[in-house]
Amino acid sequence: MVVVIGVGNLILGDDGFGIHVIEKMKEMDEFRGIKIVDAMTNSAFLLEAMDGEDKAIIVDAMDIGQEGVGVFRFNPNVEDFPSDVMLSMHDLHFKDVIAMARGVYRLPEEIVIVGVRPRRVELSMELSEECERHVDEVIEIVKRELGL
């Protein structure tokens, strides 16, 4: 089974990108029957959502440290994952969270991260125009990952 997990904080503008994406996916017919989870900014929710699944697709906004980068996709088990990238867990590096959790949870071997670089992280329920433009593109990537 595959799980799609949105990560982020809806009241911090682009930080809520992952949540905006999964909320749109929930309204789309092609995602019926797909497990879609809102993990917010809670690493425990993220880990529990992945527990026992075959594959996890995490959607989030991440500052990958490169100007001008729009949509990106990483498979940390296969590709070179930037060492300084933090998920929306704010105080934990993604690789550290996964490494610590492998002894507690049955995490999927395949974890894919899809997202955008945030442009505006400030008190707001809205995405910036730049991030809003990438919502459909990220959904298409998720669809390909799901084989839809």
Handedness of CA 55, 137, 17, 82 (dihedral sign): positive
pLDDT of residue 101: 87
Cα gap 127→3, rounded to integer Å? 24
pLDDT of residue 89: 47
In Å, what is the CA distance from 6 to each residue of 18, 67, 75, 80, 90? 4, 23, 16, 22, 15
pLDDT of residue 99: 79
pLDDT of residue 50: 96
pLDDT of residue 72: 83
- Answer whether 103's CB lies under 8 Å from 110's CB: no
Q: Give the CATH number, domain containing residue 44.
A: 3.40.50.1450
Supply the range of the domain harboring residue 116: 2-146
Cα gap 112→109, rounded to integer Å? 10
**Number of structural domains, the chain?**
1
pLDDT of residue 114: 93
pLDDT of residue 100: 82
Per-run averaged pLDDT (10 residues), the chain, 148 residues: 95 96 97 96 90 96 72 74 55 73 91 91 94 96 96
